[in-house]
Amino acid sequence: MNITKIAQLCGVSKTTVSRFLNNGYVSKENKEKIQKVIDETGYVPSSYAKQLRTKKTNLIGVIVPKISSETISRIVDGISSQVNKFGYNILLGNTDLNIEKEIEYLNIFKNNQVDGIIIVATEFTKKHLEIMKNIKVPIVVVGQNIENYSCIYHDDYNVVKFLVSKLKEKNRKNIAYIGVYKNDKAVGYEREKGFIDGLLENDLNVDYDLIKAGDFSSESGYKKCREIFSLNKEIDSIICATDNIAMGAINFLKEINLKVPKDISILSIGDSKYSKIISPKLSTIHYYYKTSGIKAGEIIIDKINNKNDKTIKIKLGFEYIKRESI
Amino acid sequence: MNITKIAQLCGVSKTTVSRFLNNGYVSKENKEKIQKVIDETGYVPSSYAKQLRTKKTNLIGVIVPKISSETISRIVDGISSQVNKFGYNILLGNTDLNIEKEIEYLNIFKNNQVDGIIIVATEFTKKHLEIMKNIKVPIVVVGQNIENYSCIYHDDYNVVKFLVSKLKEKNRKNIAYIGVYKNDKAVGYEREKGFIDGLLENDLNVDYDLIKAGDFSSESGYKKCREIFSLNKEIDSIICATDNIAMGAINFLKEINLKVPKDISILSIGDSKYSKIISPKLSTIHYYYKTSGIKAGEIIIDKINNKNDKTIKIKLGFEYIKRESI
DNA sequence: TTGTACGCGTTATCAT
DNA sequence: ATGATAACGCGTACAA
């Protein structure tokens, strides 16, 4: 079934049917006639023919490192709810933390196939930027601030500085840090930098032995915590780059019979669903992940519809959630 | 840039370029020439023109109730990893638990736009089935067994029966159950039915006061647990339909100073990332969510490529993960 | 091995 | 208010 056949069944030209479908001027008579035939036949216009003609797909390409992560899936949730309102759908590029696949998806989305791209990446290499430069559709970056691109990100650097000051308030002075590898710019690099500068600003000693980096898992938190305590140094608190890491660390502390928060204070970032369920409940930072997805959706649609070429930067705030671990 | 211009730049016909792109016979000379021009220009064939011509989009429509859920995102992860291997991508339909949107997405995906549909729904209404009947592309259902459709699902009914027998082994006799509303066929209906039949098979008394249904949140688990204990009945164990619910229940038990597993045994289903982090670590059922996504991907691609019309049913097994809560 | 000519289903242009 | 016709960019019979 196609527009020509519908036109024949109605005894009108396909131009009229097309006008009917796209809200052009059609006589009442014909409107009714066409609607009836469409209902009877269950006709749906071919999206690819339409795309070929209009150069629009109503698709947003969303590139993410790992869809099965609470953080990422909340961002995607936000993007999806926002762009759906405007009739857009999501073409999902799940890269499984594989940088090659990120590049691959950028290439797939290049030129056509999608009307805009939202990318949530941990690391932007030269290769990324080179390809992105040659992409004609608008691009929005979520999670970090990349020069010359519209970005939605959190203030990772200052958040950790803030956490250090919270510990200082409680008179904690021997603070360890468990983060992630630094090629992750936001979670790895920025947060660790915030930690070190936070110590300096609060006149605390920077002991690089107490700064560890692993991956995003709770297992990593557990291991790194063990490493820290094997040094036999005095430690009264730990800042963890993510809730997951904090949970692993707490598990290790339980094993060596240290009480949180009496013996050791723990602070982390994420406010994950489980941070308020576990015991002790985590004192953590709430980040607006879903909001960041919504904002990214807003911006990309503005760029698409209004050919808005401005580079927009949105630094989202944060909320300190005090619970039991401090 | 299009195929005609590339052809001009190479001094060949566009047919030759098309053949080059689709692995047809082209002389070595021309192959090199064309490759060079493509590299220089960064040409990427127009996907919509190709789709219009071939009637293939290489897109799989994936409809899910909520992408920001550990269970769902693991399924999507599996689908994505599998279909990517065959050059397919995912068009994501996130319905935010809104049945109307499920119907909407089915309509969007109808006829064209995608080559196949994978749907993860909690409830299949008549309206769903009516639309699905009229969809020409293959459909695979994940999470429950729907007549006449290929399905990947878990054995929810027998899993809960199994859990009841585990409690019986430990001589627990007063078992409560916290589940979810029964219009969710798999998690709501099947699991609760398994619970009741499990009691009967083990010669245990069925007390409907001790069977509660809420939503999927830990808050619901907390509330329902409180309701159960407000009855002042003897209770020595609780089976929870999900890990989340179990975590909420455990939090309530802590508040009334009941020890898990000494006073109360807890069993649940899901083996979520956090079930092994919290204290006490949950004894739970491992479900193969990612695998179910992979299988769904396998089947849909088989259906697409081989026009395989058989209805395939896969009931996945489960694994009992004994930890500390029993 | 290569090229010509046509058609996929739609929308845009221009006349009427 | 309506219709004839071209064009979007590609793949593919068919002929050479």
Residue linked to tokens 């005894």: A11
Longest dimension (CA), chain B: 88
The answer to whether A96 and A122 are in contact (CB under 8 A) is: no
- Those residues whose C-beta lies under 8 Å from the C-beta of residue A118, and which sit 6 or more positions away, are A60, A61, A62, A63, A79, A139, A140, A141, A142, A296, A297, A300
Residue B306 has pLDDT above 90, yes or no: no
The answer to whether A278 and B278 are in contact (CB under 8 A) is: yes
What is the arithmetic mean of pLDDT over B214-229? 96
Nearest to A297 by CA among A121, A62, A36, A100: A62
What is the arithmetic mean of pLDDT over A293-299? 98
Angle between helices B14-21 and B3-10 (to 10 degrees): 110
Residues on chain A touching B113 (C-beta within 8 angstroms): 47
Angle between helices A70-84 and A289-306 (to 10 degrees): 40
Distance between A52 CA and the closest CA of chain B, angstroms? 5
- Those residues whose C-beta lies under 8 Å from the C-beta of residue A84, and which sit 6 or more positions away, are B94, B101
Residues B23-57 pLDDT 10s: 888 999 999 999 999 999 989 999 999 999 999 99
Residue B112 has pLDDT above 80, yes or no: no
Q: Which residue is nearest to nucleotide C3 (CA to C1')?
A: B13
> Within an 8 Å CB–CB cutoff, is residue A273 touching chain B?
yes
Residues A119-164 pLDDT 10s: 998 899 999 999 999 898 999 999 999 999 999 999 999 999 999 9
Nearest to B237 by CA among B123, B317, B160, B318: B160
Q: Which residue is nearest to nucleotide C9 (CA to C1')?
A: A49
What is the arithmetic mean of pLDDT over A299-317? 93
Rounded Cα distance between A180 and A185, Å, is 10
Residues on chain B touching A48 (C-beta within 8 angstroms): 48, 51-52, 57, 112
Q: Please give the single-letter amino acid code of residue B50.
A: K
Phi, psi (deg, nearest 5) at residue B71? -60, -55
> Within an 8 Å CB–CB cutoff, is residue B56 touching chain A?
no
The pLDDT confidence band at residue A258, using thresholds 50, 70 and 90, is very high
List residues, Cβ < 7 Å, touching strand C: A 2-4, 14-15, 18, 21-22, 45-46, 49-50, 52-54; B 12-16, 19, 24-27, 29-30, 49, 52-53
- pTM score: 0.94
Given an 8 Å threshold on Cβ–Cβ distance, is B80 in contact with A74? no
Computed over every residue of chain A, the mean pLDDT equals 95
Nucleotide whose C1' lies closest to the alpha carbon of residue A31: D1
Tokens, residue A89: 């759908």
